[in-house]
Structure 1
Amino acid sequence: MLKLTYTENGFYLERLSGSLEEWVTSRVMLALRAASSLWVESSTASFLLPADMPQLADLEKAVRQQTIDDISLSICDADFIEVTLKGNWMTSNPNGEEGVFVVNLSDRTEFFLSKLWQDSQTYASVTNE
């Protein structure tokens, strides 16, 4: 399972080992116990990866092997590839831009996506210095 946490300063992607259903259930139970609002809806999330990353070919191959249509890759421009995921959006403010997006993909696809995102963060911090 992949979890994308969107904040006012950007987002963070992490790979979790539990099942999507168990994670969502525990999140709902936490909101109930804390007496806080929680909206859950099917949605999509997109983010960019640099197009010149060497492992991108491995991700493209893993995406082609997916039996479900929960991920797509699109050429954005000469420098970036857009990754679009279909999953579940969870937030305490349905009109806000902060929340958590979760999706369940194949282990191989999740591994490559997580690795590429981590590498892109390192790449971005090096080029910004």
Structure 2
Amino acid sequence: MLKLTYTETSFHLECLAQSLEEWVAQRVILTLRVGQSLSVEPSTASFLLPANLPGLEQLKTQVQWEEREILALCASDCEYIEVTLSGSWLSDGSENVQGVFVTTLSDRTEFLLHKLWVAAQACASVLSE
């Protein structure tokens, strides 16, 4: 399962071994116990990866053969590829931009996507220094 946590200023991508159903069920139980609202709805999430990342061609192949229904790649411009995922958005139901997006892909694709995202973060931190 991939989990993207969105805050006002950024997002974080995690690859979890837990199934999507188990994770959502635990999240529902937690919000009930603490008396908070929880909204779960079908949605999409997008983020950018540098177009020159090593391994991006492998992801393109995975999408072409296995993940067409859940994962789409589109050239944003000459420097970035937009990754769009289909899944579920969990939030407190308010109109703010904070929440969690979850989806399930093949283990191989999840691992590769997480690896590429980590590499992109490393590149961005080097450039900002």
Same fold (TM over 0.5): yes
Calculate percent identity across the aligned residue pairs. 53
Tell me how many residue pairs correspond in the alignment.
129
Structure 1 gap segments, 5+ residues each = none
Cα distance, 1:5–1:33 mapped onto 2, change above 3 Å: same
Segments of 4+ moved more than 6 angstroms: none
Q: Distance in 2 between matches of 1:30 and 1:88?
A: 18
Tell me the C-alpha RMSD between the 2 structures.
Answer: 1.0
Q: Distance in 1 between matches of 2:7 and 2:67?
A: 31
Partner SS, residue 52 of structure 1: coil
Aligned positions of 1:58-73 closer than 5 A? 58-66=58-66, 69-73=69-73
Compute the TM-score of the two structures, normalised by the length of structure 2.
0.97
Q: Distance in 2 between matches of 1:109 and 1:94?
A: 32
Offset at residue 58 of structure 1 (A): 1.0
Q: Distance in 2 between matches of 1:67 and 1:77?
A: 23
Partner SS, residue 85 of structure 1: strand
Partner SS, residue 116 of structure 2: helix
Q: Which deviations, in whole Å up to 9, do the C-alpha atoms of 1:67-93 show, x marking residues without a partner? A: 550100000000000000000000014
1:31 corresponds to: 31
Structure 2 gap segments, 5+ residues each = none
> Could you tell me which amino acid in structure 1 is paired with residue 120 of structure 2?
S
